[in-house]
Amino acid sequence: MLWKLSPFLAKSQLRYQSQLATAYLPTIYALSTAPGTKSAIAVVRISGTHSKYVYHQLNNSEKKLIHRRTLLRNLYGPGKNLLDKALTLFFDSPKSYTGEDLLELHIHGGKAVTGSVLNAIGSLNDRNSGIEIRYALPGEFTQRAFQNGKIDLIEVEGIRELIDAETETQRRCALSSFNGMNKNLFMLWRDKIVNNIAQLTAIIDFGEDTEIEDTNNLLQLVKHNMVQLKQEINQFIQKIEKTSILQSGVKVVLLGPPNAGKSSLINSISNDDVSIISHTPGTTRDTVEASIDVNGYKVTISDTAGIRSHSSDEIELLGIERAIKKSEQCDLCLLIVDPLNKPLINEDLTQMIQSMYKEGKEFVIIVNKQDLLTDENQSKSVMDALREKFGDKFPIITVSCKTQEGIEPLVKQLTQIFQRLSETSDESDPIIASRRVKEILHSDVLYGIDSFFVTTDSEIGGDSYDVVMASEHLSHAADGIGKITGDAVGIEEVLGVVFANFCVGK
Ligand SMILES: Nc1nc2c(ncn2[C@@H]2O[C@H](COP(=O)(O)OP(=O)(O)OP(=O)(O)O)[C@@H](O)[C@H]2O)c(=O)[nH]1
């Protein structure tokens, strides 16, 4: 292929850029803000060797670009057609997000404007002259940043989580991952394994000149260290499994008779009405699922309309059965009661709650419509009736969805339960890890450590062949951590997984 570099590339730049891992890849461009929507501003990113060339062509000038200086410039298309007036921002390689020369065009966000600017950039592609420019693939800007050593895979996954974050806790999770909190821990583990491999190497190298007892002691020390490390890794996995509830959402089932105020409660405990992400009929005709944000926690709430009254109606009975199934899978049940209902809670519902309690299900009873209770005795007799049925097993909270009285304490109580379920707190940042990381921890790191145990358990006592094997197993574990961060061989196979869910322009 004939390869000619952009005429606007300075010699020193050329030298640096040619050292980049992505130096000989085409220059890429994409709309980095949401496509297909009308907005005041849209940002187009261009990254690669020909970014400056794109700028000079669109701007119809050869004026020098200055690193990190914003400039207001006219942008022209083919035929010197004025397209827009844009704020341009240039990042000199390597001090850019991708490590390459990177240009940002902050243009007006209309469909026609963005379309014409993107077309104009695309029209500059001229392979015969070695100026290869094409639209970016999903996640390609971040992939280049990774390839050029600007970020590691943990940060890449953190960026993806950050973009996808819908709630405050998800954002905090993503940021801690992005800030390298997990990475520091992984590197610490890797150092531990490598140090222990070094101890084993000493046995291999000097084993014959060493007393059998010393060799055994050394091996025992390495085993002891690995037992501790395995414990640490398992604790970490347990923690991320708990925290994964923040990503998938705490599963809450809302039980209660019709008209008790279930829908009103969903709106009252959501941060706002807009936070209802989806409100779609569930898989059964009598369950509705909504994804809401409760004080920064993602909550998937199922409204089970099935439990009405003692019924011989087949459909009603089916509804009860389904509600029970739904409740079995949930993390928390909210029972909402209308204090003016007679009976307060029907027999079917009471039985269901009793049996779920026995299975260790968490409940909160909410007595709604407090504004309708004018007499204090009324309120007391409702509480007494509930206590008589359930004792002190569950917290009972009185609210009025109409006046919002009691909603704040309820949200506080729910937050405490969510914190407990996800093992998070206000003080410490929650941690998350992707499915990929979890899999590697199991299939490479723990597997390597376990294989080390199998080898060393089979024969302790100076058989250097076994020690070599043991050391190999630990190397496998250390390589696993390299795979997680992206420093190890075999990285190509994981790139596809990591970048699969990225959007174009990121
Ligand atoms: N006075 C008063 N009315 C309320 C309160 N909460 C809800 N309501 C009213 O009670 C009625 C039923 O409320 P919803 O939130 O639709 O109850 P629901 O349990 O979802 O009803 P279904 O969908 O039929 O099961 C509506 O007219 C609400 O305005 C409250 O705290 N006080």
| Residue 400: CA count within 13 A, CB half-sphere | 12
Same domain, 253 and 238: no
Of the ranges 117-121, 227-231, 290-294, 333-337, which one carries the lowest mean pLDDT score?
A: 290-294
By the 8 A CB rule, do 203 and 467 touch?
A: yes
Per-residue tokens: 248 = 């998938």
Residue 505 belongs to some domain of the structure: no
Per-residue model confidence as pLDDT tens digits over 496-505: 555 665 666 6
CATH of the domain at 311: 3.40.50.300
Q: Which range of residues forms the domain containing residue 323?
A: 249-422
User: Is the pLDDT higher at 212 or at 351?
Assistant: 351
What are phi and psi for residue 34, nearest 5 degrees? Answer: -60, 130
In eight-state DSSP terms, residue 131 is: B
Same domain, 179 and 120: no
Residue 365: band (very low, low, confident or very high) from pLDDT cuts 50, 70, 90: very high
Burial of 178 (0-12, 13-18, 19+ CB in 10 A): buried
- Within a 10 A sphere around the Cβ of 494, how many other Cβ atoms? 17
Per-residue model confidence as pLDDT tens digits over 442-465: 999 999 999 999 888 865 444 445
Q: Which atom of ligand 1 is nearest to the CA of 267?
A: 15
Residue 287 CB–ligand 1 contact under 6 Å? no
Position 469, amino acid? M
Q: Single out the residue of 49, 60, 63, 57 nearest to residue 9, CA to CA.
A: 49
Q: Is the pLDDT of residue 345 over 70?
A: yes
Per-residue model confidence as pLDDT tens digits over 75-115: 999 988 999 999 999 999 999 999 999 999 999 998 899 99
Q: Is the pLDDT of residue 40 over 80?
A: yes
Q: Which atom of ligand 1 is nearest to the CA of 403?
A: 31
User: What separation in Å is there between the alpha carbon of 338 and the centre of ligand 1?
Assistant: 9
By the 8 A CB rule, do 169 and 150 touch?
A: no
What are phi and psi for residue 369, nearest 5 degrees? Answer: 60, 40
Per-residue tokens: 292 = 């809401």
Residue 3 belongs to some domain of the structure: no
Burial of 78 (0-12, 13-18, 19+ CB in 10 A): exposed
Residues 6+ apart with CB under 8 A from 237: 438, 441, 442
Residue 226 CB–ligand 1 contact under 6 Å? no
Q: What is the pLDDT of residue 274?
A: 38
Same domain, 397 and 331: yes
Residue 59: band (very low, low, confident or very high) from pLDDT cuts 50, 70, 90: very high
For residues 264 and 181, give the distance between their C-alpha atoms in angstroms, rounded to a whole number. 40
For residues 217 and 191, give the distance between their C-alpha atoms in angstroms, rounded to a whole number. 21
Residue 368: band (very low, low, confident or very high) from pLDDT cuts 50, 70, 90: very high
Residue 6 belongs to some domain of the structure: no
CATH of the domain at 452: 1.20.120.430
For residues 399 and 269, give the distance between their C-alpha atoms in angstroms, rounded to a whole number. 11
Q: What is the pLDDT of residue 183?
A: 81
Domain boundary among 399, 422, 445: 422
For residues 370 and 225, give the distance between their C-alpha atoms in angstroms, rounded to a whole number. 59
Same domain, 493 and 344: no
Q: Is the pLDDT of residue 192 over 50?
A: yes
Give a three-class secondary structure readout of 79-96.
HHEEEEEEEEEEECCCCC
Give a three-class secondary structure readout of 266-306.
HHHHCCCHHHCCCEEECCCCCEEEEEEEECCEEEEEEEECC
Q: What is the pLDDT of residue 133?
A: 95
Q: What is the pLDDT of residue 103?
A: 97
Residue 264 CB–ligand 1 contact under 6 Å? yes
Q: Which atom of ligand 1 is nearest to the CA of 368?
A: 31
Per-residue model confidence as pLDDT tens digits over 60-69: 888 888 899 9
- Ligand 1 atom 9, closest CA: 261
Same domain, 213 and 132: no
Per-residue model confidence as pLDDT tens digits over 297-314: 889 888 765 455 555 566
Same domain, 313 and 416: yes
Q: What is the mean pLDDT of residues 320-337?
A: 78
Residue 198 belongs to some domain of the structure: yes
Helices 111-122 and 51-59 meet at what angle, rounded to 10?
Answer: 120
In eight-state DSSP terms, residue 460 is: -
Per-residue tokens: 130 = 């070695």
Same domain, 197 and 305: no
Q: Is the pLDDT of residue 122 over 60?
A: yes
Helices 153-164 and 168-178 meet at what angle, rounded to 10?
Answer: 160
Q: Single out the residue of 40, 49, 60 nearest to residue 13, CA to CA.
A: 49
Domain boundary among 422, 445, 465: 422
User: What separation in Å is there between the alpha carbon of 404 and the centre of ligand 1?
Assistant: 13
- Ligand 1 atom 1, closest CA: 369
User: Is the pLDDT higher at 162 or at 280?
Assistant: 162
Residue 372 CB–ligand 1 contact under 6 Å? yes
Q: What is the pLDDT of residue 323?
A: 66
Helix (H) or strand (E) holding 134: strand 133-135
Q: Single out the residue of 481, 268, 245, 242 nearest to residue 371, CA to CA.
A: 268
In eight-state DSSP terms, residue 126 is: B
Residue 404 CB–ligand 1 contact under 6 Å? no
CATH of the domain at 29: 3.30.1360.120
Q: What is the pLDDT of residue 213?
A: 65
User: What separation in Å is there between the alpha carbon of 339 and the centre of ligand 1?
Assistant: 12
Q: Is the pLDDT of residue 45 over 90?
A: yes
Residue with tokens 């089932």: 253
Domain boundary among 398, 422, 446: 422
Q: What is the number of structural domains in the chain?
A: 3
Q: What is the mean pLDDT of residues 359-378?
A: 87
**Three-class DSSP category at 104:** strand
Q: What is the mean pLDDT of residues 358-365?
A: 84
Same domain, 470 and 356: no
For the chain, counts of helices (H) and of strands (E): 17, 13
Residue 2 belongs to some domain of the structure: no
Q: Is the pLDDT of residue 357 over 60?
A: yes
- Ligand 1 atom 17, closest CA: 261
Residue 428: band (very low, low, confident or very high) from pLDDT cuts 50, 70, 90: low
By the 8 A CB rule, do 101 and 48 touch?
A: yes
Residue 155 belongs to some domain of the structure: no
In eight-state DSSP terms, residue 6 is: -
By the 8 A CB rule, do 173 and 161 touch?
A: yes
Q: Ranked by mean pLDDT, which of 131-135, 420-424, 453-457 comes out on top?
A: 131-135
Residue 30 belongs to some domain of the structure: yes
- Within a 10 A sphere around the Cβ of 259, how many other Cβ atoms? 13
Q: Give CA separation, 320 vs 284, 304, 307, 346, 468, in Å.
A: 12, 9, 5, 12, 61
Q: What is the pLDDT of residue 104?
A: 96
User: What separation in Å is there between the alpha carbon of 368 and the centre of ligand 1?
Assistant: 9
Residue 82 CB–ligand 1 contact under 6 Å? no
**Three-class DSSP category at 161:** helix
User: What separation in Å is there between the alpha carbon of 311 and the centre of ligand 1?
Assistant: 23
Q: Which atom of ligand 1 is nearest to the CA of 372?
A: 1
Q: What is the pLDDT of residue 343?
A: 81
Q: What is the pLDDT of residue 314?
A: 62
Same domain, 183 and 277: no
Same domain, 232 and 267: no
User: What separation in Å is there between the alpha carbon of 39 and the centre of ligand 1?
Assistant: 38
Residue from 254, 259, 368 whose mutation best tests the ligand 1 pocket (most atoms within 8 A of CB): 259
For residues 125 and 235, give the distance between their C-alpha atoms in angstroms, rounded to a whole number. 52
Same domain, 55 and 180: no
* E-state strands within 313-435: 332-337, 363-367, 396-398
Burial of 424 (0-12, 13-18, 19+ CB in 10 A): buried
Q: Which atom of ligand 1 is nearest to the CA of 336?
A: 19
Residues in the chain: 506
- Ligand 1 atom 12, closest CA: 259
Residue 14: band (very low, low, confident or very high) from pLDDT cuts 50, 70, 90: very low
Question: How far is C-alpha 14 from the geometric centre of its chain's CA atoms?
Answer: 38
Q: What is the pLDDT of residue 101?
A: 95
Percentage of the chain with pLDDT > 70?
79
Q: Which atom of ligand 1 is nearest to the CA of 369?
A: 31
Residue 486 belongs to some domain of the structure: yes
What average pLDDT is seen over the chain? 80
Q: Give CA separation, 171 vs 175, 431, 446, in Å.
A: 6, 11, 29
Residue 259 CB–ligand 1 contact under 6 Å? yes
By the 8 A CB rule, do 481 and 193 touch?
A: yes
Same domain, 215 and 188: yes
